Structure 1
Amino acid sequence: MTSEKTGKRRLVFIVSAISALRGAVFKAWKVIWQPFVLSLGVSMARLGGLESLLDLTKIMMMPFLGKASDTYGRRRFIIAQEVLILAAAVLYIYAESWRFLFLGVIFTGLSLAVHPVWNTVIAESSEGKKLGYTYSLVRTITLGLSLVATIAAGHIATSYGFQPVFTVAAVLALLSFLVVVLRLPETIFADITGSVNLRELTGSFMETFRPPRYLWGFYIAMSADLIAFNLGYRLLNGMLSQGYGYTPAMLGLITAANIGTTAVAQIPLGRLVDRIGYVKFLVISQLIASGALATLIVSKSFPVVVTAHIILGISAAFWEPAEWAWIAANVDPERRAQAIGGFSTFKGLIAFPAPFIGGLLFDAFGFDLPIFLNFSIALIDVVLIYALVQERVRPEATRDTPVSEKEIP
């Protein structure tokens, strides 16, 4: 048992290192991506369209990859993800035309399609009762490096342009690829010598729209959340850049405030989420986020925006471990990657037009309307979570045992 625990802890360390490198790439991109696209003369509506294209590419592949990884194992798909991230980073370095930009978005979307498989790897690296804590630990380590990456990306882009940031991101992506190839073992220990045919993959996609009845409440509430934040907050960097003259350096500091707050809050909250309950954490998170969005409607000054992002960082520390631990705990462990992929696909298909709609609304009415709609739907989602989501719904997990005394699958 001691040897198994030691192996699990070593695996969590490896997973955290990979997640940190990959997270630094994506957080650096997050700071400069929207200002970079706008600098090429693209309208906010078209920027929203690119964000929607990224989402569509991602969500159309998720259930196929989840099913395939349950059959063939996780490792080969994580390697493919790292190759796609590296390829996208290289394309963005030379993206002075729509063709390279389009291909980069496609590769980024395909890489993100593997994310449910990666969440499954984290779950399979965890010690039984510490599932929520493991998610929080990995995310905190990831956010530590991401904090440095966001500040650096903003200052480099402001001083030297966008291409050097994409170059540094490509180097980090290469390092992440090497760690995966050299250090990450296979994490699914069932028989993975079987095969999956096209009919099974198609069936996996169709199952996305036929989740078990006991999951419907969670699916609806999480879809409403994604619609809300894709409509407004998803485009915030672009809206602040185009509407209020925010520089990449300012956006880097704002993002760093958000990440730093989440990193600090993540570990203590991660220790509590498995005991207090996932649903309570989701409700608290959405209420906190609604308050932050309200401040953005009132003022767009730099101190207010930074404060709002600090509040949103606390909200994220409540939300993410609870969301992913809830779905991991309430599905069959042997089909966990497929289930997480199907869940992500379902809510993604519902919400993918939202960034394009948000961009249109910004072009027509300005900053406040997309954020106000985000705020309003987030408040509605509080009611949906409270009314529709239960702590334990999987039949074999629905007993009278308290959350704190249960072993999470």
Structure 2
Amino acid sequence: MSIIDRIRRDKQLLYLSLATALRGMRDNLRYIIWQPFALSLGIPVRDIGALESLMDLAKIIIQPILGAASDVYGRKKFLVARELTVLAAGLCFLFAESWQLLALGMVFIGLGIALIPIWHSTVAESIKANEMGVVFSLLGSAYMTTGMIGTIAAGWLADNMGYRTVYAISVGFAVLSLIVTIFKIDETHKPSGKAKFTVREAFTSLLDTFRPPRYMWGYYIAMSVDLFAFSVGWRLINGMLADVYGFTPGMLGLMNAVNTGTMAIFQMVLGGHVDRYGYKKFLTISQIISSCLLAVLLFFPSYPVAIGASILMGLGAAFWMPAEQAWVAKNVDPEQRAKAIGGYSTFRGLVALPGPFIGGIVYDIYGYHGPLAINLTLAVIDVFLLWFLVKDNAREENELLHNPELKN
């Protein structure tokens, strides 16, 4: 039976796919216009970078604790909480007239992102181990397909009907996603025994973020360099292009639609091969592609080039996303999957936390080229880190090293 047939017959996978598609529309409607919207309120790029870092801080503070708590209490209630926080963020953006509500909205977005590892754990617990790469790819394609529609719609609506209309529609999709999560997605993790999660355990979970298993350190380092690099540069690209080159929301929407459309198409093509050919190869290829697009956009900043760079970014992300998600799901302890995924995301987030703020300051001093030059330099370095530090079967090799009898 093919994966598509399984999704049709398996109600859990079907509703996971539906929720993913709704979130793709919801998130991309909001994301594509938020930096131009902030500029329209008189907020400079430097402060947009600070707001991006605020979002990261909100995520980092609580992410490992939430993951560990879901290992004790189950996934479902945390998935619902995620939908509620993103809905609250949408309402903040809808009614924002100054930086205060924007800041609160970014905090809510950060809290919602903090709960994403629990979603990944839910997906992993709903499928077989040898299906992780292809299922994560298909869900990513569902997200990006509706996201492509959302980015085009957001740009056109913002140009013709204003930013508030876009946020109102985004809130509507947030409500639909909440309904699907509450009524259709099943609990996948029911711990045996009496549920208990103390303050001490919460503190331990936070500390564990800084002491991952030794076999994961190479992966942590390579992936953290990547996130910091793109937090300094690419994270601010919409605001920089709008501020320096006058890109309108419609132009940015088309750019991001090309990006997400390319990603959706190639994830469907590549998803079935990631488990076969290896995660390290996919991650390294992705970073090489990203380095090429950054170089082109750095030296030839025009709208046609930006469209071409968006195609390359979509292709690179199609290699990256399923490989990253599947590597983590495969190499962490299944009994503490959400905690481990949350700890990984928190570690990366801490490294990248100052990235958007630094990017904003560099932009103020050196202009458009400064943040992208830093991004490109670190991306090239990361190509080598990914190739030499990441091992596809790190956990399995570590167990064999410490338990040689497992070979028999």
For this structure pair, what is the TM-score category when the shorter chain's length is used for normalisation? over 0.9
Q: How does 1:227-266 map to 2 (within 5 A)?
A: 227-266=228-267
Q: TM-score, normalised by structure 1?
A: 0.94
Match of 1:165 in 2: 166
- Give the match for residue 199 of structure 2: 198
> How far is the alpha carbon of 1:289 from its aligned partner?
0.6
> How big is the shift at 1:9?
3.1
Q: Say which is worse superposed, 116-125 or 166-175, in terms of deviation.
A: 116-125
Match of 1:101 in 2: 102
- Moved segments of 4+, more than 2 Å: 5-10, 189-193, 395-400
Paired AA for residue 94 in structure 2? I
Runs of at least 5 residues in structure 1 that lack an aligned partner in the other structure = 401-409
Identify the residue that residue 48 of structure 1 maps to in structure 2: 49
RMSD: 1.7
- SS in structure 2 opposite 1:394? helix
In the TM superposition, 1:1-400 aligns within 5 A as 9-191=10-192, 193-395=194-396
| Whole-angstrom distance in 1 between the partners of 2:105 and 2:383 | 36
Q: Secondary structure at the match of 1:186?
A: coil
CA shift, 1:191, in A, is: 2.2
Q: Distance in 2 between matches of 1:103 and 1:238?
A: 19
Which of 186-195 and 318-327 deviates more? 186-195
Aligned partner of residue 64 in structure 1, secondary structure: helix
Separation (CA, whole Å) in 2 of partners of 1:177 and 1:29? 16
Note the C-alpha offset of 1:192.
6.8
Match of 1:85, as an amino acid? V
Structure 1 residue aligned with 2:405: none
1:7 offset after TM fit, Å?
9.5
| Equivalent position amino acid for 1:355 in 2 | P
Partner Cα separation in structure 2 for residue 44 and residue 166 of structure 1: 21
| CA–CA distance in structure 2, aligned partners of residues 192 and 372 of structure 1 | 53
Give the superposition deviation at 1:127: 2.2
Asked whether the equivalents of residues 53 and 356 of structure 2 are also in contact (C-alpha less than 8 Å), the reply is yes
How many angstroms apart in 2 are the aligned matches of 1:57 and 1:316? Answer: 25
Letter of the 1:54 partner, please give it. Answer: M
- Aligned equivalents of 1:131 and 1:374: distance in 2? 30
Alpha-carbon distance in structure 2 between the residues aligned to 1:277 and 1:396: 15
CA change 1:66–1:192 in 2 (3 A) is farther
CA contact (8 A) 1:64 1:201 kept: yes
Q: Give the count of matched residue pairs.
A: 398
Which residue identity lines up with residue 221 of structure 2 in the other structure?
I
Distance in 2 separating the partners of 1:361 and 1:208? 29
Deviations 1:122-143 (A, max 9, x none): 1112222110101001111111
Letter in 1 for 2:228: I
Matched-pair contact (CA < 8 Å) for 1:45–1:356: yes
Mapped partners of 1:260, 1:64: distance in 2: 35
Contact 2:72 2:191 in 1 (8 A): no
Over 3 Å counting, the alpha-carbon distance change for 1:275 and 1:148 in structure 2 is: same
- Give the distance between the partners of 2:291 and 2:265, measured in 1 at CA: 21
Aligned partners of 2:24 and 2:145 also within 8 Å: no
Q: Is the 8 A contact 1:74 1:121 kept in 2?
A: yes
Deviations 1:340-388 (A, max 9, x none): 0000000100111010110111111111111111011001001111111
Give 1:327 deviation, angstroms.
Answer: 1.0
What's the TM-score, normalizing by structure 2? 0.95
* Residues 98/262 of structure 1: CA separation in 2 closer, same or farther (3 Å cut): same
- Equivalent residue, structure 2, for 1:406: none
Structure 2: tracts of 5 or more residues without a match: 402-408
Which letter maps to 1:375? Answer: L
Partner Cα separation in structure 2 for residue 271 and residue 234 of structure 1: 29
